[in-house]
Amino acid sequence: MKRDSSLVTKAAITAVGSYVPEEVLTNHDLEQMVDTNDEWIRSLTGISERRIAKTPEHSTAFMAIKAAQDLCQKNNINPASIDVVLVATITPDYQVSSTAPYVATEIGATHAFAFDISAACSGFLYGMSTAASFINSNQYKRVLLIGADKMSSIVDYTDRTTCIIFGDGAGAVLFEPSTNDYGFENAIHGNDGVGRDYLNIHDGGSLHPINEHSFSAGKHYVRQEGRTVFKYAVKHMSETSNQLIAKNKLSPEKIDYVIAHQANKRIIDATTHHLAVAKEKVLTNIHKYGNTTAATLPLLLADFESSFKKGDKLLFTAFGGGFTWGAAYLTWNYDYKN
């Protein structure tokens, strides 16, 4: 039986928060560490600098807590009123122990249940669908979704093909039942398991547990076949976004902003070229943060929150390890108040 969509409670983003470490790692700093140069990095990735959490205690959970506290403080949200805390991450503080429960406890979300979402660079996007489903169910009123990754903890700073790309950071959004019919409209997600051969940390999982050779071979670091990842990312983000545009009877002119995963400026440009969306609608901050994995989408929302108007049509898209990908359509819920 078809569900009457008018009976479903729409989930709206009602608050945004963020945190990035103070320490800046520039392209010129990387020139001192590996055989690379500022010109190559900027022209092939669009990145000039990234933030790195150098203090060991400044873990993924630390950044997630800071982003959540920023959201709560700016918007006068009592953490005890939050029902669910979701943390999208591939760099949890510990294996086995989920990061989200610790974040919930530390921020004072004493009535929430909490768990992690692991979908690499698509983690926040998948989290949006998860958060919206909790609100749609009418069982939960406040879902806090955080995207946080300390990529510097899994990057090999002698490997010039990965260390130039990644950075650390966290962003948070609050989903609540919409009171004005703006909010999360729908999404399309996809995946292809072939991707695990092209982007992974080889050792440390159940297939290849850490052994005495893992560290000397650097198999505890993230590795990728950049060109393959690049091609898959452009193909799937553009195809899925176009499917979502058609599904919602949108057109490039009707979209106000594209919020795309910040992996590489050339991936963003090639993807949005296929969508025929005007360049000024495509938001970017990759030049200053690099690829922060699950944090790129909420960091864009935090950076551009003051530009959004109630009713603006936002198209999200992301691609990540697995491979995982998707696109989501959301109408913005509020005008910015300083």
Residues that bind ligand COA (CB under 6 A): 36, 40, 44-45, 121, 160-161, 164-165, 199, 224, 226-227, 229-230, 233, 263-264, 291, 319-320
Catalytic residue among 58, 72, 121, 136: 121
Judged by beta carbon, residue 63 or residue 151, the one nearer ligand COA is: 151
Nearer to ligand COA, 107 or 155 (CB): 155
What DSSP line would sit under 4-34, residue for residue?
-GGGSPPEEEEEEEEE--S-EEEHHHHHTTS
| 121 is known as an active-site residue | yes
Shortest Å distance, C-beta 123 to ligand COA: 11
If the CB atoms of residues 130 and 162 are measured against ligand COA, the closer one turns out to be: 162
Q: Indicate the residue among 67 and 237 with the shorter CB distance to ligand COA.
A: 237
CB of 330 to ligand COA, least distance (A): 21
Which of 72, 136, 261, 264 is catalytic? The answer is 261
Alpha helices in the chain (DSSP H): 27-31, 38-45, 60-75, 99-107, 123-136, 226-247, 265-275, 286-289, 296-304
In the complex, the smallest distance separating the C-beta of residue 73 from ligand COA, rounded to whole angstroms, is: 31
d(CA 193, CA 255): 31
b/e code 58-97 from CB counts within 10 Å (16+ = b): bbbbbbbbbbbbbbbebeebebeebbbbbbbbbbbbeeee
Provide the H-helix boundaries in 174-256: 226-247
Asked if 113 and 123 touch (Cβ cutoff 8 Å), the reply is no
In the complex with ligand COA, which residue's Cβ is closer, 134 or 323?
A: 323
With CB atoms as reference, the residue minimizing the distance to ligand COA is 226
Sorted by sequence, the CB contacts under 8 Å of residue 252 that are 6+ apart come out as: 245, 275, 276, 277, 278
Which of 136, 200, 264, 291 is flagged as catalytic? 291
Question: Which residues belong to the active site?
Answer: 121, 261, 291
